């Protein structure tokens, strides 16, 4: 049987879409060359419902978090792996105002699921906390490398993953079905990260990619918990932490830079009261959309060629719910919410 859908890219977007199609019983195949974009592999994998600056909850937070937790548990069982760490996160209050807002939110209905009381700085003597700190209990992280690796192995075992570079010109669209190599598909979904900007099927401008850099540090005196302050530290085991992250727009060079390394080291020195040693440094380019919302929908040039992109800084928490809705769209045509439909751009750009 020919697969119904070809997914191009096995980052967070393509991997999560593949498994939601699997759950919906829609046949698919994935093609990926992991060396083209490293965004999902470099990511710290944090999920955090709270926007600290304004002490708001993020876009569709409740539904996204709920689906993400049940989805990642399902994948852990399916692939017999363990990558989801929903153990909360310690927030270092960024200012007196943020701390005040935090304490006000604690009195509002619904927030008790997300945040806890502020604790005095002395409780975390390894941190510099001029405004004290508190725990976000609904936050956590997934080890993205482990997630992509476990699902990649599972897909390979099921003969559902081809490791290759997808060349745009190799897609034949003249037949009733779309044809790539000797295979036929009803639909192609591009989940190619920041490379969407080079895709001839999507000539409109959607992306404003944001390059990000992270350090891997060793800090034996730092407890293995997630810390979020000016920068974040995510525990990797063996006294190691991922520290990030930086932002730089309009950069196509994916290599790490000395400038951003120093920026992270300086922020870390201010945040930690314990010694650390830098042991690695990585970079990736986040596929961020101009209006900061994800995009899904068909090309204006071919109604069976789709893009799913723009997970930006929140791929871990957004991908499971959005791909569930996309699978439903493919199953029975249930419309995609306007918020992240690609049509919001296509309509504007054609008028």
Ligand X SMILES: Cc1cc2nc3c(=O)[nH]c(=O)nc-3n(C[C@H](O)[C@H](O)[C@H](O)COP(=O)(O)OP(=O)(O)OC[C@H]3O[C@@H](n4cnc5c(N)ncnc54)[C@H](O)[C@@H]3O)c2cc1C
User: Quick check: 134 binds ligand X (CB under 6 A)?
Assistant: no
Binder to ligand X among 139, 289, 311, 321 (CB under 6 A)? 311
Using CB under 6 A as the binding rule, whether residue 75 contacts ligand X is answered as: no
In 231-298, which ranges are continuous DSSP H helix? 258-271
Pattern 100-119, ligand X, x by CB under 6 A: --------------------
**3-state SS assignment for residue 188:** strand
Name the residue with tokens 């698919």.
28
Q: Does 243 bind ligand X (CB under 6 A)?
A: no
Q: Which long-range contacts (CB under 8 A, 24 or more apart) does 329-338 make?
A: 330/4, 330/5, 330/21, 330/24, 330/26, 330/187, 331/24, 331/26, 336/296, 336/297
Question: Shortest approach of ligand X to residue 31 CB, angstroms?
Answer: 6
Stretch 265-294 residues interacting with ligand X (CB under 6 A):
284, 286-287
79 is a contact residue toward ligand X (CB under 6 A): no
Give 31 or 155: the residue with its C-beta nearer to ligand X: 31
Answer for which of 45, 49, 133, 235 binds ligand X (CB under 6 A) is: 45
* Residue count, binding to ligand X (CB under 6 A): 42
CB of 247 to ligand X, least distance (A): 9
3-class DSSP assignment, residue 5: strand
Q: Which stretch binds ligand X (CB under 6 A): 37-45, 51-59, 123-131, 172-180?
A: 37-45
Both structure tokens of 203 = 């000539």
The residue within the footprint of ligand X, chosen from 5, 6, 7, 14 (CB under 6 A), is 14
SS3 of residue 272 by DSSP = strand
**Cα–Cα distance for residue pair 137/113, rounded to 1 Å:** 7
Instruction: Rule CB under 6 A: say whether 260 interacts with ligand X.
Output: no
Instruction: Identify the helix (H) or strand (E) that includes residue 157.
Output: helix 144-157
Q: Between residue 194 and residue 223, which ones bind ligand X under the rule CB under 6 A? A: 195, 212-214
Q: Which stretch binds ligand X (CB under 6 A): 121-129, 152-160, 270-278, 309-317?
A: 309-317
CA distance 168 to 185: 15
Does residue 28 belong to the site contacting ligand X (CB under 6 A)? no
Least Å from the CB of residue 32 to ligand X: 5
Q: Please report the DSSP string for 33-81 in residue order.
A: -TTS--HHHH---EE--EETTTTEE-TTHHHHHHHHHHHHHHHHHHHT-
Reduced to 3 states (helix: H, G, I; strand: E, B; else coil), residue 196 is helix
d(C-alpha 48, C-alpha 110), whole Å: 15
Does 90 bind ligand X (CB under 6 A)? Our answer is: no
Chosen residue from 118, 228, 309, 323 binding ligand X by CB under 6 A: 309
Residue 256 is a binding residue for ligand X (CB under 6 A): no
Residue 110, SS3 per DSSP: coil
Q: How many residues does the chain have?
A: 351
Q: Show the tokens assigned to 212.
A: 């990000």
Catalog residues that contact ligand X under the rule CB under 6 A: 8-14, 31-34, 36-37, 39-40, 42-46, 165-166, 191-193, 195, 212-214, 244-245, 284, 286-287, 309, 311-317
């Amino acid at each position: 049987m020919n697969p119904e859908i070809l997914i191009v890219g096995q980052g967070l977007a393509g991997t999560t879409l593949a498994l939601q199609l699997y759950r919906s019983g829609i046949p698919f195949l994935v093609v990926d060359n992991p060396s083209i974009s490293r965004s999902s592999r470099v990511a710290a994998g944090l999920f955090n419902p709270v926007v600290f600056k304004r002490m708001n909850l993020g876009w569709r937070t409740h539904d996204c978090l709920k689906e993400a937790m049940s989805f990642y548990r399902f994948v852990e069982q399916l692939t017999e792996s363990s990558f989801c760490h929903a153990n909360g996160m310690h927030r270092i209050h960024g200012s007196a105002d943020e701390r005040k807002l935090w304490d006000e939110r604690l009195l509002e209905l619904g927030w008790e699921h997300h945040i806890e009381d502020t604790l005095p700085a002395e409780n975390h003597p390894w941190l510099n906390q001029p405004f004290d700190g508190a725990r976000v209990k609904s936050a956590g992280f997934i080890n993205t490398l482990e997630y992509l690796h476990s699902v990649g192995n599972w897909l390979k075992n099921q003969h559902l993953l081809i490791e290759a570079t997808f060349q745009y010109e190799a897609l034949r669209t003249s037949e009733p079905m779309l044809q790539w190599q000797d295979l036929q598909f009803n639909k192609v979904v591009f989940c190619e990260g920041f490379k969407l900007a080079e895709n001839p099927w999507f000539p409109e401008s959607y992306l404003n990619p944001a390059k990000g850099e992270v350090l891997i540090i060793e800090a034996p005196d730092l407890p293995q918990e997630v810390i979020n302050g000016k920068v974040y530290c995510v525990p990797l085991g063996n006294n190691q932490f991922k520290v990030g992250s930086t932002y730089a727009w309009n950069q196509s060079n994916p290599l790490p830079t000395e400038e951003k390394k120093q920026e992270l080291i300086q922020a870390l020195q201010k945040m930690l009261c314990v010694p650390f040693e830098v042991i690695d440094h990585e970079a990736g380019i986040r596929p961020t959309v101009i209006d900061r919302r994800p995009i899904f929908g068909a090309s204006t040039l071919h109604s069976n060629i789709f893009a799913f992109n723009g997970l930006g800084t929140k791929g871990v928490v957004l991908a499971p719910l959005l791909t569930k809705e996309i699978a439903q769209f493919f199953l029975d045509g249930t419309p995609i919410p306007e918020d992240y439909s690609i049509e919001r751009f296509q309509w504007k750009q054609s008028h």
